[in-house]
A and B are shown apart, each in its own frame.
Chain A
Amino acid sequence: MNGEFYNYLPLWATLLPVLATIPLFFIERRSPMFRDFFAIAVSGLTFLTVAIMYPYIAAHGTIGVSYPQVFPPFGISFQVDLLGYLLALIASAVWFLATLYSRVYMQHEGGGNRFYPFLLLSLGGCIGVFTASDFFSLFVFFELMSLSAYVLVVHEETEAAMAAGYKYLILTLIGGLALFFGIVIAYELAGNVDIRPGHFLFTEHTRLAFVAFLSFLVGFGMKMGIFPMHVWLPDAHPVAPSPASALLSGIMLKTGAYGLLRVVFNIYGADFIQEAGWHIILLVLATITIFLGSAVAIAQPDIKRRLAYSSIGQMGYILLGIGLLTVTGLQGGIFHIFSHAVMKSTLFFAAGAIIYKTGKRRVAEMKGIGYQLPVTLACFSIASFAMIGIPPLNGFISKLLLSMGSLDAGMPFFVVLLIVSSLMNGIYYLPIVINAYFGAKPDEEKMGGWRRLFTELKPSMLIPICLLALACLIFGLFPGNFPLKWAEIIATMLIGGG
């Protein structure tokens, strides 16, 4: 590790939000406004720090530093490769938008003094997960993120929020402990827990290796919300304030997917998993998760709850992408990590805007809301269509890639599964959109003409929604876009084992 400046970028991207909580703690006692701006500035700065890593990553492949003196015998170390970079980039971008969005939204929720420090702490944890270069560092940041997110979940402190939060906390701890178990076994067997290309920790099919695999699956699967570890998710995501829900569903679930990617392709290796036949476990779980998430979402009257169940189904796609063990499938999975982050954040932001503006949470009540919040609903519709997988939106590309991947793997069953689940997505997303535009007669007074088109919300709330919806469109319209290309590079690298 040389001491050049760019090697420290991952460290700073992680530490900056964590350390910023200290000045934030003092600032927030003086002025809430300054607090909001400070938080926005910090998350923006984090995004920039992540963004400027790109030239170095393109040039060197990976960058990072390690600190073995912290937490011996593992040490804390940072290393970013393209996969970590892609996820860190999208995470910090969405986080920045969420912080921006929170400024107005949290004014009506209150309690910002507690919300912002933990928002930043979980940002630090999340970036840490994506930039960690060994499983132990990853685990540490994973716990930091998960525990900070608890505060975001219970923010409203209602009875329901406390109950959901407790469930979340206990299951998170179980997941963390399972992860701990896996890491301890891996360390004992392999002597290190590094994430390095072509460096597999397990080379023999022993019972202990399988136990470790299951622990990792439980640990990361808990976060990812795959069946049967999903029970906390539909409770926890809806009760959180909307910006936090967007982050929980959009980004934090992905840390689990990221961890599982690393486990499958960096600890065991695709060949190993294929030989052992463990990918069948992943595929079975993915099938159940996709069906369960989509089917239950249909029955949810609460919009945020519906979105939360939809997240479960979508995480099933990503798991499917991992479990197929083909380059195209994996590319689809990785691209879906990216595109689901964009889509789900749009949806939660928009749902939050609806709740903020009208106080309505039930889908049935949202008749004619498209006239009241035209831009928000337009964005919501774009993201919904993307979710369903209507071309030319980004959700379509990931589903296409996944289908092609399933065919490559010789499992056409999954193509059917994808089609059926898209149908189900349609069943629960379209009514919201249809209701919003056609559920009631156009109300001219509420519309107020085109002049008021972009004044339905404060710009700091509207801009994040629009930007993300635009992203859904752009990354779908231009198939040559960077996440897609990167996903291909990453998938080739991971499957090739190096």
Chain B
Amino acid sequence: MFETLINILSALVSNMHYLTAMLLFLIGFHTMLTHSNLIKKIIGMNIMETSVFLFFISIGYVHNASAPILDDRVAAYVNPLPSALILTGIVVAVSLTAFSLAMVVMLYKHYGTICSDQIMRLREEEQ
């Protein structure tokens, strides 16, 4: 009984990175969908993306292995592929953020607010 608890706990600790990534994903997800502030939505979007990056990179992590630089003295390398891919992912995320921020600026110029509820109300008034 006690032993199984220990096992579960140790499994949790050793999979910390996955858990954190999932937690961050949910936080980001929640922020994106529930907050009416557009900037907060974008922040949520970034948190969510970062959590996926964390998850992906941690897959490639090998305990006690070195960075993937060819060297005779090193026995094990960290898997370089996820890191390489996530670089692309980060670029994509940055451009998405930039684009969405630009749209928020346009919306703010027109409506004078960045609250999506207010924008909806203003839009209905316009129509």
Do any beta carbons of A and B sit within 8 angstroms of each other in the complex? no
